[in-house]
Amino acid sequence: MEPYELVKGLRVTRNFAAESIPEPDIARILEAGRWTGSSKNTQRWAFIPLRDSASRASVAACGTFSVPMLNATFGVALVRLPDGYEFDIGRVAQNMMLAASALGIGSCPITLHDTECAHRALRLPEGHTCRYAIAFGYPDIQAESAARTQRRYGGRKPLDELIWKFPG
């Protein structure tokens, strides 16, 4: 898929099939995160792969809307190191999600609202935080289709609603 179309077509997947993601594809997703740009190229992050259901459940317990992590076959906890930037973590997440999509793998960002819980669950060193994780898996097409017809959210806002005139 062309990169621009990949960006425009990225959708969150909350329902996953039971099929496991092959290790080479997991490595590609993690590499996409590694190659993400960061402020001053400091790369103040670390990734904790969540390969088994117990680790995914432990992390999911730290979020409010984290059921997709329970349904996923793979997950990644995104750890911000001391002096790291939230913006950079968001960039890492988007790169991993786009790389997964290019491989036919769905993803869902998860906010870990209870950061103390995440700190304990992941046994992070002092000064390290994990507020975000990503659930990955092959989409369960039927479940996703059914869920999307039930959601009440509209489509994308028109571009002219999003572009504001500079107040000068």
Q: pLDDT (tens digit, 9 = 90+) per residue, 38-59?
A: 999 999 999 999 999 999 999 9
162 part of a folded domain: no
Number of domains forming the structure of the chain: 1
- For residue 112, the model assigns a pLDDT of 98
Sheet harboring 106-111: ordered strands across? Answer: 45-50, 74-80, 129-137, 106-111
147 part of a folded domain: no
102 part of a folded domain: yes
CATH code of the domain containing 24 = 3.40.109.10
Domain that holds residue 24: 3-141
**Percentage, residues of the chain above pLDDT 90:** 87
41 part of a folded domain: yes
152 part of a folded domain: no
Token pair for residue 72?
């996923």
Residue 62's pLDDT band, with cuts at 50, 70 and 90, is very high
Residue 149's pLDDT band, with cuts at 50, 70 and 90, is confident
pTM comes to: 0.93
Calpha distance 107→43 (Å, rounded): 22
Give me the residue label for tokens 């898929």: 1
120 part of a folded domain: yes
Contact at 8 Å (CB) between 70 and 100?
no
Calpha distance 112→33 (Å, rounded): 19
Contact at 8 Å (CB) between 122 and 60?
no
Calpha distance 133→66 (Å, rounded): 9
Q: What is the dihedral of CA 34, 23, 13, 5, to 10 degrees?
A: 60
